[in-house]
Amino acid sequence: MRTIRFLLKKEFLQIFRNKAMVPIIFIMPLLQLLILSNAATYEIRNISFSVVDLDQSKFSRELISKFTSNGYFILSESSFSVPESEEGFKKNTSKLILQIPHDFEKDYRKTGNAEVQFIIDAEDASSAGLIYNYSSVIVQQFNSDIVTEWSGTNEIMNNPMINITYSNWFNPELNYKTYMVPGILAVLVSMIGIFLSGMNIVKEKEIGTIEQLNVTPIKKSQFIIGKLLPFWIIGLFELAFGIFLGRIIFNVPMLGNPLLIFFIASIYLLVILGMGLFISTMTDTQQQAMFISWFFMVIFMLMGGIFTPIESMPAWAQTITLFNPISHFVRVMRMIMLKGSGLKDVLPTIYIISAYAVVMLSLAIFRYRKVEG
């Protein structure tokens, strides 16, 4: 223990003397949490749209008012020609064209049926789907208001109706930050662990101190513990700090046991630190270690279920995610924080992460050929 204590002291001194590491440890997680939590959302607001109102009636004006008064749409221009409005797509100043045909109000009053056309910029398929859904809801609400106005309240009440009441579990206000923050915290902990540990041993190679360590009587196990433990402690500190910020700034709930999160995180960090240490033993410069670490992090993030649900991925991609440690940790973070899941609920994931930790640490230790004195 005395040897490990001296190694820890040496590692912490080396970490805080490194001007490149300090911003990565303290500044990068704070900025990424604040920025990504606000930017990473599939909710769309301030959608610019154009109107081609060929009817110029009371009904058409009321329908346009429905679009502009709900907080999601902003009217960018009005015209009497669809080709002219389509120029907004090319200039990226419009995402939707609402075309109201001639005799819109007349047809509605005469037959009870009328048509409107949505022309949507589908360059981004996900955004196009949301814009269509928003627009459809507005038109349905407009139709409901007209029917209520015509039929009267008493007649509506006399008709048989089915009243639907609902509540949203785990995220009652449908706040996307509540869903994203736990995933972003998992990413931040992963980035801290893999980048710092990835640059660790390779830095010893660059400055020439690895040879000095190799001729000391330090055992291989002591050396590995001394290299990993500081970043393990820093990773848990970053997670605690991130959860605190998520609670204070974004009001993210903590329905489960925080100790269970830190227990799983302590195992998960062994996976990430083992990967970083493995990369560090296979590279000769910090730049190489950073590039390789970033290569794996991009794949892990994009296929980790953080931004895209794993269930919507192709079958082969879902199989690959079984070997993605971030996907397991993200799922556990959301389960515990948002659903209040207990140990029994996350036990299978703990087994997977533990097995992953054993494999990665074994590979890292095997790769590091320490000459024992």
Q: Residue 366 carries which side chain, given as an amino acid letter?
A: F
Q: Residue 201 carries which side chain, given as an amino acid letter?
A: I
- SS3 per residue for 331-349: HHHHHHHHHCCCHHHHHHH
* 268 three-state secondary structure: helix
Q: What is the pLDDT of residues 276-313, one digit of tens each?
A: 988 888 888 888 888 999 899 999 988 888 877 888 78
149 by Cβ neighbours in 10 Å (0-12 / 13-18 / 19+) ranks as exposed
User: For the chain, what are the domain ranges?
Assistant: 2-40+173-367, 47-158
Q: How far is CA 179 from CA 46, 183, 187, 343, in A?
A: 22, 7, 14, 21
Residue 80 burial (CB count, 10 A)? 11
pLDDT, position 166: 62
pLDDT, position 72: 87
pTM score: 0.78
Residues ≥6 apart with Cβ < 8 Å to 305: 183, 321, 327, 330, 331
CA 216 and chain centroid, separation: 45
Q: What is the pLDDT of residues 48-71, one digit of tens each?
A: 999 999 999 999 999 999 999 888
pLDDT, position 214: 65
**Inter-residue contact 325 to 350 (CB < 8 Å):** no
Q: Residue 133 carries which side chain, given as an amino acid letter?
A: N
Q: What is the pLDDT of residues 2-52, one digit of tens each?
A: 777 777 787 777 777 777 677 777 777 778 788 877 766 666 778 899 999
Q: Which of 78-92, 255-269, 342-356 is least confident?
A: 78-92
pLDDT, position 349: 94
**Inter-residue contact 55 to 103 (CB < 8 Å):** yes
CATH: 3.30.470.20, 3.20.20.140, 3.40.1710.10, 3.90.550.10. Which one for 47-158? 3.40.1710.10
Q: What is the pLDDT of residues 194-214, one digit of tens each?
A: 988 887 778 777 777 766 666
Q: Residue 241 carries which side chain, given as an amino acid letter?
A: F
pLDDT, position 196: 82
Q: What is the DSSP letter of 99?
A: E
Does 157 have pLDDT greater than 50? no
**Percentages (nearest 5) of helix, strand, coil residues in the chain:** 70, 5, 25
**How is residue 189 written in tokens?**
């902990």
Is beta strand 96-100 parallel, antiparallel or unpaired with respect to 73-79? Answer: unpaired
**Inter-residue contact 280 to 202 (CB < 8 Å):** yes
**How is residue 106 written in tokens?**
């007349």
pLDDT, position 167: 66
Does 372 have pLDDT greater than 70? no
* 92 three-state secondary structure: coil
Q: Is the dihedral of CA 337, 343, 346, 350 positive or negative?
A: positive
Instruction: Please report which confidence band the pLDDT of residue 334 belongs to, taking 50, 70 and 90 as the band edges.
Output: very high
What does the alpha-carbon distance between residue 342 and residue 300 come to, in Å, rounded to a whole number?
25
